[in-house]
Amino acid sequence: MTPEETGTGNTGASEAFHYLEAIEKSITAQMPRAVDELMRLVSIPSVAFPGHPEEPVLAAAAATEELLRSTGLPHVRQIPVEGSFPAVYAEAPAPPGTPTVLLYAHYDVQPAGDPALWRTPPFEPTLIDGRLYGRGAADDKSGIMAHVLALRAFQGRFPVGIKVIIEGQEEYAGERLEEFVERNPDLLRADAIIVADVGNPTVGDPAVTTSLRGLAAFTIEVRALKESLHSGSFGGAAPDALAALIRMLATLHDDRGDVRVPGLPRGIFPGAGPDEGSFRHAAGVLDGAALVGSGSLADRLWSSYAITVTGLDVPSVNGAINAVQAVARARVTVRVPPAGDPGKAAADVLDYLRTVAPWGVQVSVTDQVLGSGYLADGGGRARTALNRALERAYGRAPRDIGAGGSIPLVSTLAKQFPAAEILLFGAEDEAAAIHAPNERLVLDELRRTAIAEALFLADYAAF
């Protein structure tokens, strides 16, 4: 709907209030339909990692295209992305004298992992007490639905120009869309960009993410023997690749849990972070287990390097045999402060691991992925409008936070469109268990996020 449809136009504060109130009511009324649509979307196992079937990913692209068409956007299509799954693109021209807003999300999801760790099946979305459980419910199919809900409120008559890009392989190979953006700048050029792939520290606590850590990831392989050997006959003298890898990885952190790799110093975040109790609860830290690292939680989570071993290729316990291992592999992820250089961080960690490798084992590296971080400039016209929209939707003013996760596309957008304001907010929260078992979305957080986005579009048009 538009101010004209509600009889408001620019005739005064009272009319403007009723216009915004109509937007809120429209989105709230849409929620039952949107929940059904989100459940159908979450039921599609759109894992775009190698080794997973492609058909569900393409099905999610088709479902996303259908959802965007339902908003009244006049131009919706799938766009091939070289080396990746298609992006879903949509646009509506800007009314005269109004800005254009680009909306971003992604339809692919992380693998579910061990099904035994889920309390409900990961791809059978389940509603429990206002929460929707399922892989991708929060990250990032909630972002798609927030955009859809916000756009439907205008019934095809949008107050600003709209562009939408929903990518299909963010979780594994987001750099493919970065290359696409660099080759097609006019397609995505906008005055403001909303990235709906983040969230609030806690439910009901509105926040705008102003910094993102970058990413460096690689697979390291340690090889010591031509082939594995009987541990009774050769153990005690033959070098064990698995033991060597364990020793190497254990040296990455000191006894407090701080990164000890030279060249990767701790950083300082200028604002407030979560309190320890809230963080322990959101992270599910067990009683008696200590948090690792030093400095404030904001420093550790948003402005410092973090190294995590995210996977190991070694014999499983169930399949273990009495053998000295010839080869072992690990996937290592380095989170890089916003201003840090991911390439240098990867090189520093790899140089260090080669230095500490024992017994002359052979070390090789494959499948390296790099992504830059992001640090927002001071807010302008768009951020002012977003602050007002979030305060109305949540009943309290938003605050600035950082994010320890990485969205490499954001830094590409910032470089490609330096005049555009990039706004990161969304329906996730720290307890949403994204990338983990039992991922869930609080449905009222989705409603408030969609209301905030729609109010922003209306306010930004009239600014």
Which residue numbers are catalytic?
A: 108, 170
User: Quick check: 333 and 307 in contact, CB under 8 A?
Assistant: yes
Strand order through the sheet with 214-223: 306-313, 327-336, 214-223, 362-371
Give the whole-angstrom CA distance, residue 44 versus residue 132. Answer: 15
Output Rg (C-alpha) for the chain, integer angstroms.
24
Q: Which residues 6+ apart lie within 8 Å of 412 measured at CB?
A: 178, 181, 182, 372
Secondary structure, 3-state, 200-242: ECCCCCCEEEEEECEEEEEEEEEECCCCCEEHHHHCCCCCCHH
CA distances from 247 to 232, 315, 354 (A): 22, 17, 12
Q: Which of 198, 193, 224 is nearest to 211 (CA)?
A: 198
Q: Which of 249, 242, 251, 237 is nearest to 361 (CA)?
A: 242
Give the whole-angstrom CA distance, residue 26 versus residue 18. Answer: 12
Ramachandran area for residue 52 (φ above 0: left; ψ -120 to 50: alpha; else beta): beta
